[in-house]
Amino acid sequence: MAGNAISEASQVVRKKALKLAGEVFECSEDDLVIADGKVSITGIPGKFIRLSELAQRANPMRGAVRPGTEPGLESTQYFGPPSGTTANGVHAMVVEVDPETFELQILKYVVVHDCGTVINPMILAGQIHGGVAQGIGNAFYEKLAFDDQGQLLNASLADYLLPTALEIPRMELGHTATPSPLNPLGIKGAGEAGAIPVGALFAQAIENALDLARKRIELLEIPLSPSRLYELLSKDGT
């Protein structure tokens, strides 16, 4: 939603910048190109005006505003699709669990992801990396602990356990692009699809690892710290 609203507003600002630059150069807007923070005449890259200067010229405080014009290189646009669109993908992981201490190590983590049209690959990769890291914290480390009086026992980061760069594995990322038909950019959300599958995948991987160690158990909760795994297996009588 935000990306499409920004796109709509940016297109309006672009038209305003070209119109103002055309007045400055006394040429047609069709003869202008915007690149690298400036507007230049096509074929004459040395003839340009920076967008910052155009913004200053468009400032309504600098003079009278002609009827039928809107000052400033700014725009307010809205975008509200009739229905939402959802990213999709597949997560896979290989874990190693010590059957005695239940200490866990993630050996490999792979994500194949589809968030529609990719605008910025580097930011998208960061979204997936951060989402998986958040999911690992949710699945293994982060838990609110209360005493029998309902008082929170780990209310600060000195006590609340978070994963660090030492616990988050390197990830292999792959992308497919199926444009969404529900918005002009064909985009879908990227952050949630990195975080949401991790908890279920984590539980399934541990179930499989323990099954191979002949400690069969069905895990129906997270977070699954080593101590919690020990409690569950003890209850299960294994």
SS3 of 150-193: the string is CCECCCCCCCCCCCCCCCCCCEEEEEECCCCCCCCCCECCCHHH
Question: For residues 198, 203, 207 and 213, what is the CA-based torsion angle, rounded to 10 degrees?
Answer: 80
pLDDT of residue 60: 73
Question: Which has more pLDDT, 159 or 148?
Answer: 148
Average pLDDT over residues 229-238: 76
pLDDT of residue 218: 86
The CB-side HSE value for 78 (13 A sphere, CA atoms) comes to 2
Q: Is the dihedral of CA 220, 221, 226, 227 positive or negative?
A: negative
Contact residues for 61 (Cβ-Cβ < 8 A; gap 6+): none
Per-residue pLDDT band at 141 (split at 50, 70, 90): confident
Q: Has residue 235 got a pLDDT over 80?
A: no
For 88-109, how does the pLDDT look when each residue is reduced to its tens digit (9 = 90+)? 889 999 999 888 888 889 999 9
As given in the structure block, the two tokens for residue 72 are 């400033």
Average pLDDT over residues 18-44: 92
- Compute how many other C-beta atoms are within 10 angstroms of the C-beta atom of residue 13: 17
pLDDT of residue 4: 92
Question: What values do phi and psi take at 141, rounded to 5?
Answer: -115, -40
Question: What values do phi and psi take at 18, rounded to 5?
Answer: -65, -40
- Compute how many other C-beta atoms are within 10 angstroms of the C-beta atom of residue 60: 11
Cβ 199 vs Cβ 137: under 8 Å: no
Among candidate residues 47, 43, 46, the one with its CA nearest the CA of residue 26: 47
Domain ranges of the chain: 2-62, 88-235
Average pLDDT over residues 9-21: 94
pLDDT of residue 84: 80
Q: Which of 54-68, 85-99, 144-158, 222-236 has the lowest mean pLDDT?
A: 54-68
Average pLDDT over residues 229-237: 78
Contact residues for 72 (Cβ-Cβ < 8 A; gap 6+): 16, 55, 58, 59, 60
Average pLDDT over residues 109-138: 93
As given in the structure block, the two tokens for residue 229 are 């795994």
Per-residue pLDDT band at 129 (split at 50, 70, 90): very high
Q: What pTM did the predictor assign?
A: 0.79
Q: Is the dihedral of CA 59, 61, 62, 68 positive or negative?
A: positive
pLDDT of residue 64: 61
pLDDT of residue 232: 86
The DSSP code sequence of 11-58 is: HHHHHHHHHHHHHHHTS-GGGEEEETTEEEETTEEEEEEEHHHHHHHT
Q: Has residue 152 got a pLDDT over 90?
A: yes
Task: For 88-235, give the CATH class.
Answer: alpha beta
Question: Which has more pLDDT, 61 or 229?
Answer: 229
Task: For 2-62, give the CATH class.
Answer: alpha beta
pLDDT of residue 238: 57
Per-residue pLDDT band at 62 (split at 50, 70, 90): low
As a residue count, the chain comes to 238
2-62 shares its CATH topology with 88-235:
yes
